[in-house]
A and B are shown apart, each in its own frame.
Chain A
Amino acid sequence: MNQSSRASTFIMVLYLIFLLLPIYWLVNMSLKTNFEINTTVSLWPRDLTFEHYIKIFTDASWYTGYINSLTYVVLNTIISISLALPAAYAFSRYTFVGDKHLFFWLLSNRMAPPAVFALPFFNLYSAIGLFDTPWAVALAHCLFNVPLAVWILEGFMSGVPREIDETAAIDGYSFPRFFVKIFMPLIASGIGVAAFFCFMFSWVELLLARTLTATNAKPIAVTMTRTVSAAGMDWGLLAAAGVLTIIPGALVIWFVRNYIAKGFALGRV
């Protein structure tokens, strides 16, 4: 190994340590007792314990937070993708009045901070009885996830030659049958990437999720902010909850890892 490649290896390792340190520390903390966390600085747990994880998986006030979060995230992903598929197809295949403006306007929706929409959503959902349900958060998150999914899917769809659509029409396929049987398999990776982005953005969004829920649909991130009590901070429990919030995102990334760069380019690679 020559000198320059040794140097680049060294820098790479340093960078990875820098990146992974907070995650390692979180895992480290989650496996320690609160006493150890508060009294010593230890690189690994001296007194290994799973009590925090056990508490999260057995205490309903904790695990329902995860269930609530997953519920609205999955709902949102399903709604976003099923709305975005036909919309993206229309943008990719047809020209209609104002199509380019509408397409750009969709993305510009993402430019407004979610806080702007928190108030109208709160008022509207309270009025129609959606407040404090997973549907409230799932629908609110569509505001920025549907446009994103449309953009990503449009890029992938435009990569499919129009002649395939025509050949299917000539073969006699009805549109729904063509779309499901021929077209969707061709953009499967695009659907995967779009679903991942919807999942991720919905999973990490806190402001709308907190504003639109109270007790019944309380997401995990909100539950976590409420561990601060008169008795002080339950560090270990909080760390364990943090570790568990990373896992779903990591799992989804694993499945779409090969397409993610293309997804970031909105399918336009």
Chain B
Amino acid sequence: MTLELEKVSRAVHGVPHISDVSLRLERGSLNVLLGATLSGKTSLMRLMAGLDAPTSGRVLADGRDVTGLSVKKRSVAMVYQQFINYPALSVYENIASPLRVAGLPRAEIEARVVEAARLLKLEPYLQRRPLEMSGGQQQRCAIARALVKRADLVLLDEPLANLDYKLREELREELPRIFASTGAVFVYATTEPTEALLLGGNTATLREGALTQFGPTAGVYRHPHDLATARVFSDPPLNVLRATKAAGRVRLASGDAIAAAGAFADVPDGAYTIGVRAHHLRVEDGAAYEAPPADGAAFRLRASVSVAEITGSETFLHMVAAGEGVDAAGLIALLPGIRTYEPGAAVDVVFDPGHILLFDATGARAGRVLDVAA
């Protein structure tokens, strides 16, 4: 099945939840809905499933209008972030339940349940009640129920968010593989950019109920069309700085000017917004600071350290830039190795004009699109 949303909007009590989303999901494709909490991922999934009806717009399945069709009549399976099973039924009966409702022969049900249980490693627990299992097993049970139905549309709403790290890694790897063979349209909602990148497929980025970009995951990550998409698809958060180009030179709002290079090379003069990913920021010790070279190749600005978070082999350095023009959230650099900084220490932040995402005043991508993900 291909699922198509045509200018779909939904408002509840006058508050828009989804605004004007158009999306075409192909048969057998893996699609990630990426967005922060309250960005509309769940609302959009509920519209896709038919649990809610859009206020305006159409939902098409294989070109057929299914906008008003009840969810019971659609071929949909859904897994929630909370572990939703039928507590009164055994795991076997939970998995079998959509098949029993569909009235399949007993032998067929048995075969499919056993197969799903094998794939999701639930075989030893088939006679237990869902609440007698661990969280990971409960979620596996919910996933098995979604799998066994062989629905045309499989919706997973942050299915791994409530699981511990190890289980999440494991299931994330298995999930696309398990569903790949079914030929279903597979939709996976997540708040984590990393998860989207690991899953691959296509990604749709959502912000405040609106679709900001849809395309192959790596493409959306490397070439966000606008600032909103770049912000959504960035973990740690994107560093955002204001800059002005005039007479072949670019000046950061905080001061230093360098020759226009990289993405800045062929854009007209004017005010721009720069997005820099955390791993593209270099930090130099404040002590070594010297006046910038007249024609410096790199952007350079002064900042003071707020906090250094050390995660094993990497350091997240949170800084506040000196002067105006930096996003209120400050700056974040991802540094290799364990680096200790005193809070308040003065540092120099340096980044290459070739490693920036450039946006014009409206937030749209500007300049030559360079591959900056390297």
Q: What is A's interface to B at a CB cutoff of 8 Å?
A: 161, 163-164, 166-174, 177, 182, 185-186
Q: Which of B70, B86, B102 contacts A164 (CB 8 A)?
A: B86
Instruction: Tell me if B84 and A170 are in contact (CB < 8 A).
Output: no
Q: Determine chain B's interface SS by DSSP, over half rule.
A: mixed
Instruction: Tell me if A161 and B76 are in contact (CB < 8 A).
Output: no
Instruction: Tell me if B102 and A172 are in contact (CB < 8 A).
Output: yes
Q: Determine chain A's interface SS by DSSP, over half rule.
A: helix
Instruction: Tell me if B101 and A169 are in contact (CB < 8 A).
Output: no
10 nearest CB pairs, A to B: A185-B88, A171-B98, A172-B101, A163-B84, A163-B80, A169-B71, A182-B86, A167-B84, A170-B78, A172-B72
Q: B97 contacts the other chain (Cβ, under 8 Å)?
A: yes
Instruction: Tell me if A161 and B84 are in contact (CB < 8 A).
Output: yes
User: Interface size of B by Cβ–Cβ distance < 8 Å?
Assistant: 22
Known A167-B84, A185-B88: A172·B98 in contact at CB below 8 Å: yes
Q: Which of A166, A171, A185, A186 contacts B51 (CB 8 A)?
A: A166
How close is A248's CB to chain B, nearest CB, in angstroms? 29
17 A-B pairs with C-beta separation under 8 A:
A161-B82, A166-B51, A166-B71, A166-B78, A167-B78, A167-B86, A167-B145, A169-B72, A170-B77, A171-B97, A172-B72, A172-B98, A173-B97, A174-B72, A177-B101, A185-B88, A186-B88
Q: B292 contacts the other chain (Cβ, under 8 Å)?
A: no
Instruction: Tell me if B77 and A164 are in contact (CB < 8 A).
Output: no
Contact partners of A164 in chain B: CB under 8 A: 84, 86
Instruction: Tell me if B76 and A163 are in contact (CB < 8 A).
Output: no
Q: B149 contacts the other chain (Cβ, under 8 Å)?
A: yes
Instruction: Tell me if A170 and B82 are in contact (CB < 8 A).
Output: no
Interface residues of B in 57-85 (CB under 8 A from A): 70-72, 76-78, 80, 82, 84
Interface residues of B in 83-98 (CB under 8 A from A): 84, 86-89, 97-98
Which of A164, A167, A169, A170 counts the most chain B CB atoms within 10 A?
Answer: A170
Q: B232 contacts the other chain (Cβ, under 8 Å)?
A: no
Q: B321 contacts the other chain (Cβ, under 8 Å)?
A: no
Q: B49 contacts the other chain (Cβ, under 8 Å)?
A: yes
Give the complex CA separation of A203 and B149 in angstroms: 49
Give the complex CA separation of A170 and B82 in angstroms: 16
Contact partners of B145 in chain A: CB under 8 A: 167, 171
Contact partners of B149 in chain A: CB under 8 A: 171
Give the complex CA separation of A182 and B72 in angstroms: 16
How close is A233's CB to chain B, nearest CB, in angstroms? 53
